Amino acid sequence: ENSFSCLSRVWESASCFHGFSTLLHLSIALWANVDGRNTRFPSVTTILTEKSRFCCIFARMSLLKELSTGLSVVRKACLMAVRVRKMASEGSLWKADKSAVTIADLAIQAIALHELSSLFSEDSFIAEESSLTVRGKPELSARVREVLAKEGCELSESQILEILDKGGALSTSGRVWTLDPVDGTRGFIDGGQYAVALAFLVDGFVEIGIIGCPALPDTLTGSSGRVGSIFYAVRGRGAIEIGLGDDSRHDLRADGDAPIRVVEAAESNVTSYAHSAFVASTLGWGSDPPVRRDSCCKYAMIARGQACSFIKQPKVSYVEKVWDHAAGVLILTDAGGKVTDGSGIPFDFSSGRELNLNNRGIIAAASASLHCEILQAIDEARGALGLHRTRKSKVTPVALCTGFPIQSATGPYCLSGRA
């Protein structure tokens, strides 16, 4: 009996060592099952068929260092953003693509990549900002260094430039961290919602997703008084919300009957409000006006059961970025929701900084059944919206409900209105 107990512990502790553990497990199983009476160890056949699943589970358990580091980085970034937002001299600049960039963007990216790269020196990083925003602007650089110094991070100008450019990786193969230091920069400046989004990917698959929402109230009315939360998920292990300023913690579960039917982007230049309105009307939600919020906090609102769906139809020239969606897609999926592009195609995070050009639009829903209804509503509204079919294969709503894609030669709808 003592020998079996010892071997049981060996089984549990060695399972994450792929080749070695497989050989060990086979040896144990052959020995333990030799008399045909053992029930404590799986058979040789079971080991061979289930080994990959066991290794996957233990591999995710081994992400504890990545998760704890990511949570620490996002918490520190959120608290920094809150302080910078209160600074009267915070200021902002304009980048070439006309999106606002603040001192908080640059300082958060610098401190986040500094901490992550010091612990995971072999990993790659994809982040929104670059040193081009700071180069040749000594006043801006000085203000970024000032903010970092208040956080106990003393960096020279050259060090800041170097760290910012560490986020310039192009590929999502291997171990990659994606970061949006302040998602919803306009909301940050104007007093609306914003978020810090961090994700950890392995060969294009999101393994960890973390979103910090410093200004998001605990309730829709804000009556509870608690503001600020961090949402996170490790793939396949559920989604969790923790308080930014307290020790509160609870599991997340999306709700298809949430009080807000549709939450959409706050900026009309990145989405079509008419598209969402047509879909909502088709679903019988016409009397429920959409709620508009900046940043990826929309994913968090659905995951915590405050909203049913997030529908986005971007302008023709807009391409989604990996840092905007990797963390939110994982969190909502692990909370029981479903996320695809506007044609029902899952997001492809293996294509690098920008999502695959085949991914157009966003449908995020609290459940697979609701997601199916939204796709059907888009199908019914195509005439009024002036949508056209493309030559690409279509994943039908029925297939999406079952989880098994059924290809059709007719092609999906091109929500941009162009064939």
Catalytic amino acids?
A: 105, 185
Tokens of 343: 């044609």
Q: Is residue 149 helix, strand or coil? A: helix
DSSP 275-343: HHHHHHHHTT-TTSPPEEE-STHHHHHHHTTSEEEEEE---TT---BHHHHHHHHHHHHHTT-EEE-TT
Give the number of other CB atoms < 10 A from CB of residue 118: 9
Q: Is residue 44 helix, strand or coil? A: helix
Q: At 53, which amino acid appears? A: R
Parallel/antiparallel/unpaired status of strands 239-243 and 227-234 = antiparallel
Render the burial of 301-337: b for 16+ CB within 10 Å, e for the rest: bbbbbbbbbbbbbbeeeeebbbbbbbbbbbbbbbbbb
Contact partners, residue 174, CB within 8 Å, separation at least 6: 123, 124, 202, 203
Are the beta carbons of 199 and 212 closer than 8 angstroms? no
Strand order in the sheet with 338-340: 291-293, 260-265, 307-312, 362-365, 338-340
DSSP 61-113: HTTHHHHHHHHHHHHHHHHHHHHHHH-TT--EEE-TTS-EEEHHHHHHHHHHH
Tell me the C-alpha distance between 184 and 99, whole Å: 10
Give the number of other CB atoms < 10 A from CB of residue 235: 18
Closest of 54, 289, 82, 300 to residue 197, by C-alpha: 300
Tokens of 99: 């999106």
> What does R_g of the chain's alpha carbons equal in angstroms?
24
Give the chain's largest Cα–Cα span: 78
Tell me the C-alpha distance between 210 and 181, whole Å: 12
